[in-house]
């Protein structure tokens, strides 16, 4: 799963791709719609598959927020499928799921300027290296993060929890991912999942994944990543929250942990279903695989259904499992 920092690009930025030529909309994927129809949500916008991407993300979100029953809207465009882009529209309806985050902290904690500079260089290097993150530049930066995290963990922890500047908290969430593999670090990163800034949450989700993998491989370390807030992020209006949460939950349920799967079912089944139905297939696949586990299917069967284009039988099985549990 790609880093949230370049996972999705804003509409305004994408409108300037290839000079003045805006990319065309390939697919429109909704999430958060339960009472409002997709047709009604789009009625007053100029957003249509095959049409050029509108220049103003803000105007689109304002139009969507005026639809009766809608509290707020989030529009994200993911670049690019050639000259086309995938558009995702998150809707928070009145009376629908709402993910509450902490208030912004107001502390003065900060990381050294040289670490901030190293982080910015790291982001540039990752962009150049692609999703593998295997370049010498990225490896050098990761070593620097590891050394700083080991020597100054309390400072990094203080910044993550108390710094007023979101960028500082986001850097701390990344750096802690290279700290000693202890439960205390896991607890700090889980705390960051309730941060009001999406880049902090995204970096924390990314940093938690190696801990989750290690916990499964080496149970003697007694590391435990709680699924509770990860599951709640499946209901977020932010696309990056949802996608990275689904990715981490695939790791956490790799052993078919029924307790975690039942918790996903109870707290986020409708969100998982709508994601599994997205037309943009590379984004629908992770939630679909997770939904297969929720439905009680072995991974090979879920993967076979996906390959054959048979998503609905898996979705219906997950939904019917829920109906049986309520009886």
Residue 317, domain member (yes or no) = yes
pLDDT of residue 125: 81
Q: What is the mean pLDDT of residues 265-285?
A: 96
pLDDT of residue 108: 94
Helix (H, G, I), strand (E, B) or coil at 277: coil
* Together in a domain, 201 and 239: no
> Which residues are CB-neighbours of 192 under 8 A, at least 6 positions away?
160, 169, 173, 200, 201, 203, 204
Nearest to 232 by CA among 197, 189, 272: 272
* Together in a domain, 167 and 129: yes
Which of 24, 58, 93 delimits the end of a domain? 93
Is it the case that residue 310 has pLDDT exceeding 70?
Answer: yes
Cα separation, 109 vs 157, in Å, equals: 10
* Together in a domain, 201 and 277: no
Residue 99, domain member (yes or no) = no
Total structural domains within the chain: 3
* Together in a domain, 68 and 83: yes
Residue 1, domain member (yes or no) = no
Query: What digits encode the pLDDT tens for the residues 78-106?
Result: 876 678 899 999 999 999 999 999 999 99
Q: What is the mean pLDDT of residues 115-136?
A: 77
Residue 107, domain member (yes or no) = no
Q: What is the mean pLDDT of residues 98-120?
A: 94
pTM: 0.89
Query: What digits encode the pLDDT tens for the residues 212-231?
Result: 999 999 989 899 999 999 99
Percent of the chain with pLDDT over 70: 90
Cα separation, 188 vs 229, in Å, equals: 13
Residue 3, domain member (yes or no) = no
Cα separation, 92 vs 99, in Å, equals: 10
* Together in a domain, 77 and 28: yes
* Other CB atoms within 10 A of residue 44 CB: 12
Which of 166, 193, 221 delimits the end of a domain? 221
Query: What digits encode the pLDDT tens for the residues 317-326?
Result: 999 975 555 4
Chain position carrying tokens 């679909």: 288
Lowest-confidence segment of 29-43, 77-91, 257-271, 307-321 by average pLDDT = 77-91
The chain-wide mean pLDDT, for the chain, equals 88
Q: Which two tokens stand for residue 133?
A: 């993150």
Q: What is the mean pLDDT of residues 262-278?
A: 96
* Together in a domain, 60 and 23: yes
* Together in a domain, 21 and 80: yes
Residue 106, domain member (yes or no) = no
Is it the case that residue 19 has pLDDT exceeding 70?
Answer: no
Domain hosting 212: range is: 113-221
pLDDT band (50, 70, 90) for residue 5: very low
* Together in a domain, 214 and 234: no
SS3 annotation, 61-94? HHHHHCCCCEEEEEEEEEEEECCEEEEEEEEEEC
* Together in a domain, 130 and 204: yes
Helix (H, G, I), strand (E, B) or coil at 201: helix
* Together in a domain, 72 and 147: no
pLDDT of residue 134: 58
Is it the case that residue 76 has pLDDT exceeding 50?
Answer: yes
pLDDT band (50, 70, 90) for residue 7: very low
């Amino acid at each position: 799963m790609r880093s949230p920092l370049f996972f999705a690009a804003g509409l305004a930025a994408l409108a300037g791709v290839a000079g003045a030529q805006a990319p065309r909309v390939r697919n429109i994927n909704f999430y958060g719609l339960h009472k409002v129809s997709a047709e009604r949500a789009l009625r007053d916008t100029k957003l249509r598959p095959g049409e050029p991407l509108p220049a103003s993300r803000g105007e689109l979100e304002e139009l969507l927020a005026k639809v009766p029953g809608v509290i707020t809207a989030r529009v994200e465009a993911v670049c690019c499928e050639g000259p086309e882009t995938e558009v995702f529209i998150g809707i928070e309806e009145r009376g629908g799921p709402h993910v509450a985050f902490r208030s912004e902290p107001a502390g003065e904690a900060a990381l050294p300027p040289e670490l901030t500079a190293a982080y910015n260089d790291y982001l540039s290097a990752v962009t150049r290296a692609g999703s593998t993150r295997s370049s010498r530049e990225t490896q050098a930066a990761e070593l620097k993060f590891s050394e700083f995290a080991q020597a100054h963990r309390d400072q990094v922890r203080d910044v993550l929890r108390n710094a007023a500047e979101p960028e500082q908290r986001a850097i701390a969430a990344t750096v802690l991912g290279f700290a000693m593999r202890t439960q205390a670090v896991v607890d700090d990163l889980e705390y960051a999942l309730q941060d009001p800034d999406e880049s902090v949450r995204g970096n924390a989700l990314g940093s938690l994944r190696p801990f989750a993998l290690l916990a499964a491989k080496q149970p003697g370390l007694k590391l435990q990543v709680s699924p509770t807030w990860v599951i709640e992020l499946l209901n977020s209006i932010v696309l990056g929250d949802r996608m990275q949460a689904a990715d981490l939950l695939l790791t956490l349920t790799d052993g078919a942990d029924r307790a975690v799967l039942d918790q996903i079912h109870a707290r986020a089944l409708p969100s998982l279903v709508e994601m599994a139905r997205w037309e943009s297939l590379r984004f629908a696949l992770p939630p679909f695989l997770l939904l297969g586990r929720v439905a009680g299917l072995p991974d090979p069967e879920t993967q076979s259904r996906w390959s054959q284009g048979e998503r609905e039988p898996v979705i219906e099985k997950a939904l019917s499992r829920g109906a049986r549990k309520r009886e």
